[in-house]
A and B are shown apart, each in its own frame.
Chain A
């Protein structure tokens, strides 16, 4: 009796053990598509094309990789496109804090919880900068001026109100005990327009990514007052203190994350975790980080999911203060 049932039981046990093992590995079997929520040429587009090159030339994946630009709606159009491929891990998208901000200001129909977090590639921390001949010598001067009169400084916050740059300005002001609603935030189209206006003396200060003013800082035409980073970022900004150092707790991380469509299986997520962790250790990637003044800040899928949650809570708080929650 025993012997008769032993074999099928063993087989069943082996199969039961083998089945999940089989489903735990996933491999792409058609071209991978990296979806970019902006037009070609910007920072996000560049990071996508870099990733394409690393995965393809490094033979990290057995299939070709293409980049597709789906600009529009502050990223909303790309999310709609991505989720048309629910459960399909051949489609990934590069995203930014817009994913969270749009969720809160009611701009997009797809929430951040409707997509699958896969990784964070790198971060850019907002810097507040002035023209070299500005009377504002440091972050403390900036706060002092705003404390006397919140309307005394016109500060550019590309590329729209409620953007990460605007939130950065509001965070710093709030940390200094200034009502963020009273600030004079000016939106000057692209970051490039804002830098021109800063150099021309049309505005008093500029908030933006370190890369937006790095050439001007190197040339001594622009002074970075302080950076909204957890710690100093080095390079051309080695001398620039963090706001936290100055006693104002304000950190703003413009992360560049990778997301997948909704409903990816653990096996698919695991495959991407492996590929992306490898991609960020390549020399090509490290070199690009330096060239673009991007900060290495790789997070895996689980950590990125947590990042989204904490960012959502933080943005909700500051957008609420600005009266921009819908």
Chain B
């Protein structure tokens, strides 16, 4: 009951005109930051810190949270239109979203991203409102062994991403794992495959690889077409700009499921929006009646991941607010901001500053509504990008990619890397090696290896640690089922149809 009063009071805080204004500013900046590749919410929030010094902490944090979830709305725009994920968590969107755009359904893809983000974002905030405190204890049960089995389960999804040739899928997966090992190994403190380049000590950035593999590779393909004179006519919008009834019907399920997956993954520190969107994508492909459409413009492949990466932000605030533990880059910067304002997130925050906590959480309901109103009209504006002639569009993609990659670390090494991975992506396309498994293993590989070794160190080399808790057992069973499912389902279907008298 007391909590309920706090929730209501939170609305009184966040609906003050000044806080509405900061919510709006935050989500607007978030959208812009999301649209620009490379510049993610962490950098955006960090840039804001010096400006907000001396501001009321509640207003400042409302604005920062606005940037955080607002960026997830904007991230899909460039992913869909120019195959350049505006934000790491939008990488899955650039697979089917771009294919949709090629088929003239860019408007629908953008619209479903915005609507999915809104619904899932709201699911996430409801989850944050109702379950923040009880969920904390579940998040704490995740130790290294649990993380390893979770990553293992996520890794089994690779089979759904491989395309026609399993061998080529395995090759892409292994290359991703190899890239994930570059850098200082935390468990031994030794540098691996850094080739004497200091920038490599922190590993090869995920966004850099993705921008190269997707955006730059697309530019190379376009160049080839232009040189050969086989370039297709500029993309056009076919049908209505908005979602068709059929598209809408197919999106509802993925949005709900994505919203729940995203929130749950978000609560676990360290997992993050990229893993949430990958898990949503593979889930949708698995349960789809027409999995062959994925990779060729399936709207579920946009609706699910875009929803998941949005509700993930609300989930990520659970450990931040209840434990003072940041789950990723953006929340780490927010933790810094909390401390700077003299607010200590942690077990005592909900009691000591209910006005701030609930003002912040409630502002996210308002912010999501604002984002929907802000983003839907932009769909009509953004699709016009497609009418830019290719001779202008490709240099534009290169410029945006380069600025984005450079903005992450201010390092020229990253510029060479996007060029390198652009060539890799182009060659992969030529020889028909899928890039999605590489992306998956690059995201999961690092955490998977580290958590495996952490668990083994803690247990003193005893593998029992991996089947010692309920969570690990459940995840292991799910992994086995996930591997076997593609073999079982066709048999079951065959059984079902042969048993059918008609």
Contacts and interface: CB of A to CB of B under 8 A. Distances in A.
Given A73-B202, A291-B342, A192 B336 contact: no
Interface stretch (A213-221, A266-274, A275-283, A309-317): A213-221
A219 B347 contact: yes
Contact of B188 (A74, A161, A200, A219): A161
A189 B460 CA distance: 19
A63 interface: no
Contact of B319 (A72, A185, A196, A211): A196
Nearest to B446: A189
A307 B84 CA distance: 48
Contacts of B458: 154, 184, 186, 202-203
Interface stretch (A44-52, A87-95, A137-145): A44-52
B353 interface: no
B332 A221 contact: no
A202 B143 contact: yes
Given A41-B46, A45-B336, A160-B186, A218 B348 contact: yes
Contact of B189 (A162, A196, A221): A162
Contact of B460 (A39, A76, A151, A159): A151
Nearest to B268: A196
A211 B269 CA distance: 19
A200 B325 CA distance: 13
Contacts of B337: 41
A107 B188 CA distance: 13
A214 B47 CA distance: 26
Given A73-B202, A200-B141, A203-B458, A53 B53 contact: yes
Given A40-B42, A215-B344, A216-B346, A196 B49 contact: no
A40 B46 CA distance: 6
Given A74-B184, A200-B142, A292-B339, A186 B457 contact: yes
A161 B187 contact: yes
Interface in A179-223: 184-190, 192-193, 195-197, 199-203, 211, 214-216, 218-219, 221
Contacts of B346: 215-216, 218-219
B323 interface: yes
B50 A49 contact: yes
A188 B199 contact: no
A263 interface: no
B325 A196 contact: yes
A77 to B, nearest CB: 5
B202 A71 contact: yes
Interface in B429-470: 450, 454, 457-458, 460
A25 interface: no
A200 B201 contact: no
A187 B42 contact: no
B323 A73 contact: no
Given A161-B189, A196-B323, A215-B347, A72 B270 contact: no
Nearest to A324: B189
Contact of A80 (B49, B144, B198, B333): B198
B335 interface: yes
Interface in B122-145: 139-145
Contact of B345 (A161, A163, A215): A215
A241 interface: no
A199 B143 contact: no
Determine which residue in A41, A107, A166, A187 has the highest number of CB atoms from chain B within 10 A of its CB, and name it.
A41
B198 to A, nearest CB: 4
B325 A192 contact: yes
B43 interface: yes
Interface of A: 39-43, 45-46, 49, 52-53, 67-74, 76-77, 80, 105, 107-109, 151, 154, 159-163, 166, 184-190, 192-193, 195-197, 199-203, 211, 214-216, 218-219, 221, 288, 291-292, 324
18 contacts: A40-B46, A45-B46, A46-B339, A69-B46, A109-B198, A151-B460, A160-B186, A186-B457, A189-B186, A192-B332, A196-B269, A196-B325, A202-B145, A215-B344, A215-B345, A218-B344, A219-B346, A291-B340
Interface of B: 42-43, 45-47, 49-50, 53, 139-145, 184, 186-189, 191, 198-202, 269-270, 319, 323-327, 329, 332-337, 339-340, 342, 344-348, 409-411, 450, 454, 457-458, 460
- Kindly list the 6 A-B residue pairs having the minimum CB-CB distance in the complex, ordered from nearest: A40-B46, A215-B346, A202-B143, A41-B333, A161-B189, A73-B198
